[in-house]
A and B are shown apart, each in its own frame.
Chain A
Amino acid sequence: MTCNHYEKQYSDYLDGLLDQESGDEIRFHLNGCARCQTKVGDMERSISALRGLPTVATRPEFDQVLKSRLHTARTQALYAVPFWVSIKEFLSEVALFTRHRTVQMVFTTSLLLTIFVISGLSSYREEPRSANLAIPAFIDQELAAWDIISPIPYESELAPEMAISLVSHIVPQNTPVAILDNVIVKYPRPLNNNAVLTITTMDAVAPDAQTSLESPLASTTPQQRLEAGTSANQHFNLNMSPLPVVNGYLPGGMPLNSSRIQVMKRLTRPASQIKRIRISF
């Protein structure tokens, strides 16, 4: 056993709290260890010095000061109003105040304003960007496909009755994959024959990236069959996601790492890059 082990028990030893066996053990150790003997002696002396500290007395005016403080506290307690009473009083004051016509008007106006602002905020939706694409009026529906190259000149060449309107879905900036859905195609009158709607996207890959990436955003041409007699206001979910990013691999087996994702993010253009909309009969 080391001195450190016994050191923990010196306090109990001096307080007489150890049992016979432990006390004997310590006594035995102290007989053979001069250092610990000094330590215990010092500790004993410091304990008796602490116990011998003179008792300090309060000043004579202590009681008087305490009495006056107590008196103040008791008086405050006597006159203290319970909190529910003060709440009740406050509410009755408010009730009296609200009887004034001006207060009522101000209150109603502010309430209405608040409701108006809140409802305005909650119903706010970001308007989708839209591009009105026109079909040259001279193209006969029966003869040829509607072939619209985007972007095309605006209002001057618009033939309202032949307009196809495209509402492109808003794609968040910097998404690696351009997803086109929610395309609304409007055409002037119900179709006589079945047709196929084809939307071709732009090739979004810059030439310098083609060497490293195997054209992951190359254009695709999803098609939609249009039944004869359908209404002139069709709503398509075309799901034009050209790049299925699955399991961390690009098409062609190239592993997808973070640097590649960075490259793709830089190359991606907004989703409204429609190259061509064609309705063929």
Chain B
Amino acid sequence: MTNYVATATAEKVQPDVYDQLTATDELLFSQVQREDMHAFDMIVSRYKTRLYNCVYRMVNNAENAEDLVQETFLRVYKNRHNYQATSHFSTWIYTIALNLARSELRKRKRRQFFSLNSSTYEDSNTEGFDLPDTSAGPSEHLEHSELGRAIQKAIDQLPIKYRTVIILRDVQELSYEQISEILACPTGTVKSRVNRARIRLQEMLRQWQIEA
């Protein structure tokens, strides 16, 4: 019965709704709200690479990033009726993905803390307090260039709030207005965070160049 209703409504809508180029995200998602799974597939194909790149740069682990992006789509689907068209769909989906990525990073931090505390005195004494490298193997094949690896390492060393803005601004190339909407903070704050993040990053990269 539900399927029948879904197909019936899908037939009624304007024909250009499935046009990959012209249909807006909001229009597509309004179809998803009417249980149209084809529209949802289109949303996935539009956003999966963008979100994956964003989340991957945040967490620096391919498997984790994929899992988080899938979780993002699942949450989008489950909360499809809570989305209101007053905000941009892209803002909404980015907010969900970033929240998941940030909570993953916090979890990781806690795990590191506990593993540090549980390590023996001899272990921690040999190399100071070097954190274990959590970036798993799969990330290695993604970064071919030396510079790429250095940049990712530098991003990893930034605090989460700087990491978020620099990825949104310089990797995803979003506008300051979009970033301020996603992070729900004033544009001025975003600008100053981006500036600080860039300064830190540039210092770290210069260090890397000197060492290299």
> What is A's interface to B at a CB cutoff of 8 Å?
7-12, 17, 39, 42-43, 45-47, 49-51, 53-59, 62-63, 65-66, 69-70, 73, 77
Q: Is B59 an interface residue, CB under 8 A from the partner? A: no
Instruction: Give the complex CA separation of A49 and B40 in angstroms.
Output: 34
| Pairwise interchain contact B202-A43, C-beta atoms closer than 8 A | yes
| Pairwise interchain contact B56-A56, C-beta atoms closer than 8 A | yes
Q: Supply 5 further A-B pairs (C-beta < 8 A) apart from A10-B198, A17-B176, A69-B74.
A: A46-B202, A53-B57, A53-B151, A56-B52, A59-B62
| Pairwise interchain contact A8-B192, C-beta atoms closer than 8 A | yes
Instruction: Give the complex CA separation of A73 and B74 in angstroms.
Output: 8
Q: Is B112 an interface residue, CB under 8 A from the partner? A: no
| Pairwise interchain contact A49-B52, C-beta atoms closer than 8 A | no
Of the candidates B73, B142, B147, B173, which one forms a contact with A56 in the assembled complex, judged by CB atoms under 8 Å apart? B142
Chain B residues contacting A17 (CB-CB under 8 Å) are: 176, 191
Q: A49-B147, A51-B170, A56-B53 are in contact. Are A43 and B198 (CB under 8 A)?
A: yes
Of the candidates A9, A39, A65, which one forms a contact with B202 in the assembled complex, judged by CB atoms under 8 Å apart? A39
Chain A residues contacting B206 (CB-CB under 8 Å) are: 42
Chain B residues contacting A9 (CB-CB under 8 Å) are: 195
Chain B residues contacting A73 (CB-CB under 8 Å) are: 74, 77-78
19 contacts between A and B (CB under 8 A): A9-B195, A10-B195, A11-B198, A12-B191, A17-B176, A17-B191, A43-B198, A45-B202, A46-B205, A50-B201, A53-B151, A55-B53, A56-B52, A58-B66, A58-B69, A62-B66, A62-B70, A63-B48, A70-B77
| Pairwise interchain contact A51-B171, C-beta atoms closer than 8 A | yes
Chain B residues contacting A55 (CB-CB under 8 Å) are: 49, 53
Instruction: Give the complex CA separation of A54 and B52 in angstroms.
Output: 12
CB A23 to nearest CB in B, in angstroms, measures 15
Q: Is B85 an interface residue, CB under 8 A from the partner? A: no
Of the candidates A8, A45, A50, A62, which one forms a contact with B171 in the assembled complex, judged by CB atoms under 8 Å apart? A50
